[in-house]
Structure 1
């Protein structure tokens, strides 16, 4: 990755002041429910090949309520003497005007930004040296929570359509949503949209110089269906999610084998496994117990202790969860850690070309890259997909039998591609990891969507029963 140096210009402070009241209305803005303090770190100025406007990739630091983040905001700047007519005041891209009359536009959906980005980006060694795409109108994908994706007709090879993802929250290190698909595609795994170009930068973060990716251009799967929407439609129609779920399970199993080959971790031993965000390790387990099994059990206990503080209804399951954790410590076999997806669910897969594609290897954007890319149990991805079936059934109004068919079919496909684990140990670990995820969901729903809280609560009751 070529690191372009972010530099601070005097106008960046004026841009930050203009953007400060605009940012809280963006879905990807992470500092919610407070008066955030927004300051300019600096930016990169890109050249629009058509010379229609100036493009500035502005990096901001937002602070508030104990939370902070480095954010990327691409803006298109048009001076008072620009030849094209000024945008109307109700133009959704209009952010405002600087004191000198410069018009500031949200760059994400603007052709000027896309042209400049494509001209500046790094590309694979076998890509054309000077691509000159004939771009069609860009289309911003609605509804994204963490980043901004733009469909770009003409930006792919031979004039095909491509997808540009603009990373909003920036973290130190190479973004896994660039490096993981690159590694998988180079290893010959065809179920990931191939990265076509990427852009990186380095910036000053206090006394430290950080570096990371700003965005990635990937191949677009035309006519593809979002996995969650597809499953919801089937549930709503009363159509079984069986063959598709089995094929999805097989693709996820193949993904885990491909990840182990393409991104070996050097952790082939059955070391301790850290539960997500629990911070617990079993350094000195009792003699005869597997350190990895003890760590999984400890992570479940920690997750429950954390969840029950926010969701008191979970207290009735305390004894059952403690007993499950105790049995987990006795497992003789826990698979080795490896690189995983990290946030796998139906919304992270697409159905197109009569097959499944896996997307969004980024993980939680505001979590440090080192934490997002650490080795983990591959079964955690499978457990996340199982939880997603519950949500699709709830949205589609399907009975429990629909979910059970989907679960059984998915696991049949997955197990066929990962036959090296004892079936009993696999079933136990999936139960523990699915319960861990359901406990997390219970807290999330209690805080954000209380009417959805029964979905994970029913799962907890089923998994401990």
Structure 2
């Protein structure tokens, strides 16, 4: 079923209740800025369940936010506010919202207990809710909604359809229509319920624990490399490849541009100028580059789960506030592998390793990933990893200066001629 949002006289009144609360949410996109908020329209899922769509604008940010709400009688300590003597509650994990959502969603469905639902803590761009039951699931309520397909729904559906088993299978999904910027209705996803992976360990936390014990991560990394390669093969089966010409020159230009940007933000990176130029030159000298294809787009150890000895890859959405076209654009499959390699460096550092011990542990894990993946042009991979590391250097300098040595160590390796270490 596709729901259609309708303007309601209560929309503006509900927004007034939410004005002070919205900027405090982790998923609010305009942190630290004064945002202009306006009510777009609302979905009425049940008599006491409303999903309000709020447009938030601040600087370059222009997002439509989904805010599920439950109105109920009586006093509630967790109420956002009061409207017409009724408490207004955040509905994302509320049983009444969950029951109404499941009643209108498409898909094979799941046997879940909405009364035992638990909101996952730590989510930033969306809200995830674990629903126990005989066929448990995890519901992702998309906070920034956008017109068109959502990769986090569309890609897993395609992968399951071609028989790939390393992604939590979608069990239910819900689409909606709402007024776009020009007043015309647009259609997009509101949320997806995926199969819950039991006894799962977060890949990054798992790797950090291995590093903290000084235990080799090579075997799990080898398995993950093989699963990543099989994902790329499945994505080609599901989506095909991009036949347009994307040669090495495009990669070389992108890395050079990334370095110029990074250097303007972190002038101390100037000592890597010659090394970056050498990598760029080596890429330009390549006779060809692989065909571009659908990829994960933001793959790192925090996007994978380990359960009963098997890896599962999740979170295909990409950056929620990025344009859909950008998030679904075909790319080089090796970019996903480069993201995993960078994540290994972070796991070693966060796990407490330093110096030669860190170099040995990360080298061993990296070798496992590369062996499991089973191929790929090493010059191209190096350039893609360099591109990612330059981005990290700018991010850390701005947000976590004490972590800047992690990407700097990566730049030293990548511009120094030693790909394996």
* TM-score normalised over the length of structure 1: 0.86
Q: Which has the larger displacement, 168-177 or 248-257? A: 168-177
User: 1:382 aligns to what SS in structure 2?
Assistant: helix
User: Which stretches in structure 1 are left out of the alignment for 5+ residues?
Assistant: 48-52, 273-291
User: Which stretches in structure 2 are left out of the alignment for 5+ residues?
Assistant: 417-421
Equivalent in the alignment of 2:382? 431
Equivalent in the alignment of 1:406? 365
In structure 1, how many angstroms separate the alpha carbons of the residues matched to 2:209 and 2:115? 31
Residue by residue over 1:72-110, the C-alpha shift from the partner in whole angstroms, topping out at 9 and shown as x without a partner, is 1111112xxx4xx4313xx2xx21112x21211011121
In structure 1, how many angstroms separate the alpha carbons of the residues matched to 2:42 and 2:207? 42
In structure 2, how many angstroms separate the alpha carbons of the residues matched to 1:324 and 1:7? 54
Equivalent in the alignment of 1:60? 54
In structure 2, how many angstroms separate the alpha carbons of the residues matched to 1:461 and 1:141? 38
1:17 touches 1:38 (CA, 8 Å); kept in 2?
no
Residue 236 of structure 1 and its aligned partner are, at CA, apart by 0.6
Residue 133 of structure 1 and its aligned partner are, at CA, apart by 4.5
- The number of residues matched between the two structures is 411
Counterparts of 1:307-346 in structure 2 under 5 Å? 307-346=262-301
1:31 touches 1:68 (CA, 8 Å); kept in 2?
no
In structure 1, how many angstroms separate the alpha carbons of the residues matched to 2:415 and 2:259? 12
In structure 2, how many angstroms separate the alpha carbons of the residues matched to 1:444 and 1:20? 30
Residue 132 of structure 1 and its aligned partner are, at CA, apart by 6.8
The RMSD of aligned alpha carbons is 1.4
In structure 1, how many angstroms separate the alpha carbons of the residues matched to 2:237 and 2:111? 35
Counterparts of 1:8-407 in structure 2 under 5 Å? 8-47=7-46, 54-78=48-72, 82=73, 85-88=74-77, 91=78, 94-98=79-83, 100-123=84-107, 127=108, 133-154=112-133, 159-207=134-182, 208-265=184-241, 267-268=242-243, 271-272=245-246, 292-398=247-353, 399-407=358-366
Residue by residue over 1:310-355, the C-alpha shift from the partner in whole angstroms, topping out at 9 and shown as x without a partner, is 1111112122212321221110131100000000000000000210
Q: Using a 3 Å threshold, how does the CA distance of structure 1 residues 198 and 439 change in structure 2: closer, same or farther?
A: same
Equivalent in the alignment of 1:280? none
User: 1:342 aligns to what SS in structure 2?
Assistant: coil
Residue 446 of structure 1 and its aligned partner are, at CA, apart by 1.4
* TM-score normalised over the length of structure 2: 0.95
User: 2:223 aligns to what SS in structure 1?
Assistant: helix
Q: Using a 3 Å threshold, how does the CA distance of structure 1 residues 132 and 300 change in structure 2: closer, same or farther?
A: closer
In structure 2, how many angstroms separate the alpha carbons of the residues matched to 1:307 and 1:347? 24
User: 1:436 aligns to what SS in structure 2?
Assistant: helix
In structure 2, how many angstroms separate the alpha carbons of the residues matched to 1:227 and 1:413? 16
Residue 447 of structure 1 and its aligned partner are, at CA, apart by 1.5
Residue 268 of structure 1 and its aligned partner are, at CA, apart by 3.5
1:451 matched to 2:406: no
User: 2:45 aligns to what SS in structure 1?
Assistant: strand
2:112 touches 2:131 (CA, 8 Å); kept in 1?
no
Residue by residue over 1:108-145, the C-alpha shift from the partner in whole angstroms, topping out at 9 and shown as x without a partner, is 1211111111111011xxx37xx774434111111111
Residue by residue over 1:54-89, the C-alpha shift from the partner in whole angstroms, topping out at 9 and shown as x without a partner, is 1111111011133221111111112xxx4xx4313x
Equivalent in the alignment of 2:419? none
In structure 2, how many angstroms separate the alpha carbons of the residues matched to 1:77 and 1:447? 41
